[in-house]
Amino acid sequence: MIENSASFQASVDFARGIFGEGFIPLHRPVFEGNEKQYLIDCIDSNFVSSVGARVTEFEQKIAAFTGAKYAIATVNGTAALHAALQLAGVSRGDEVITQALTFIATCNALSYTGAHAVFVDVDRDTLGMSADALRRFLESKVERRGGQAFNKATGRRIAACAPMHTFGLPCRIEEIVALCDDYGIPVIEDAAESLGSYVGGRHTGTFGRLATLSFNGNKVITTGGGGMIITDDEELAIRAKHLTTTAKIPHPYEFVHDMTGYNYRMPNLNAALGCAQMEELPKFLAIKAEVARRYAEFCEAQGIALAQARAGTVSNYWLNAIVLDSLKQRDAFLEYTNGRGVMTRPIWRLMTRLDMYKDCEHDGLENSRWLEDRVVNLPSSVPDGAMGKA
């Protein structure tokens, strides 16, 4: 148990032993491969926007790595999720079941569709949506009509379920998908943080009807800004590319658009960066697993609870997270570490505590509230010099 400044200092010293002196960020990008060369090649080709060979190559690399049949690159993860929700049939006035313990992009994306968020609780071990909480909600609050699910209280159609794999820790996605299938609710996995995470050897994001990834500057790999929709459904993949390319009907020179689309396609410059990063991904994941192992040893010695992948799953350990004993202890730890140049941060504020989503239906969120008061993220970058040793 962390109780005093001496044990706080031990945590600071341990982080410096991994990441070195000076300011230690939470997660930084690493560019030690072909990133510069691929960017130069892209500039020399004059194809720097959303039309270019690197976009297609990056999509193919992501599809091959995750095992998804199709991948469609977007400008960021939020755009990917917005498009995926629309592709799944989410419309204005519908409801989407998700978790309140999430980054705001999850809820913002569903709000763009005009849908209403409904929040169910998370599990304390995965930090992701609880299948048990989802089951309780469906059995008590939902009725089936014509092969679709409707909220008994509001009368609204429940058009989708969007669980998230928090910090790369796989949630109980197989159980969630099975429950939703029984109620005719499509699952869109928010896998923004879980590139390189697996459930029983199957990559996260390949269980639902659609899934989305993020390549923001702080993710395991980065394209600066970028996202991806992945799916095994060919028709959805074709529609995804069309929707995110301003819904333009292909033609050598005519400008004909057959629906309201979005300018969401990833530029070739970003994709060039992504192609180089994918070449380094196996090294990144191996090093991050070693960092997580060292954290596990330290936390066990200190009596600190560390969030770890449950049995039968593999985490990419994008961000390591500890669970402290109280809100007071959490705040003291955050102040101490950040004041000494070691960046730590609390988990996100619950969506129900933000003005935009405070009136959304929820199930009490007991675990979510408990975790909000206790979870702290630790520095989790690939350490300087580690790539040469991997």
Beta strands 313-314 and 320-323, pairing class: unpaired
Cα separation of 75 and 216, whole Å?
Answer: 10
3 has a pLDDT exceeding 60 = no
315 has a pLDDT exceeding 50 = yes
DSSP-assigned letter for residue 347: P
Per-residue pLDDT reduced to its tens digit, 120-142:
999 999 999 999 999 999 999 99
Please, are residues 20 and 383 in contact by the beta-carbon 8 Å criterion?
Answer: yes
The CA dihedral of 27, 275, 238, 206, to the nearest 10 degrees, is -50
Alpha helices in the chain (DSSP H): 5-19, 35-45, 53-66, 77-87, 104-112, 131-141, 173-183, 234-243, 268-302, 327-339, 366-372
Structure tokens at 188: 């869109």
Mean pLDDT (whole number) for 324-330: 96
- Domains, in order of start, for the chain: 5-27+280-378 (3.90.1150.10), 35-276 (3.40.640.10)
pTM, whole model, 2 decimals? 0.95
Mean pLDDT (whole number) for 316-323: 98
Q: What is the CA radius of gyration of the chain?
A: 21
Please, are residues 148 and 184 in contact by the beta-carbon 8 Å criterion?
Answer: yes
Residue 2's pLDDT is what?
46
CB count in 10 Å sphere of residue 40: 12
Residue 5's pLDDT is what?
73
For residues 347-366, one letter each, b for 16 or more C-beta atoms within 10 angstroms of the residue's C-beta and e for the rest, the string is bbebbbeeeebeebbbbebe
Angle of CA points 100, 106, 107, to nearest 5°: 65
Q: Model confidence at 7, in pLDDT bands (50, 70, 90)? A: confident
Q: Model confidence at 293, in pLDDT bands (50, 70, 90)? A: very high
Per-residue pLDDT reduced to its tens digit, 167-195:
999 999 999 999 999 999 999 999 999 99
Cα separation of 63 and 68, whole Å?
Answer: 5
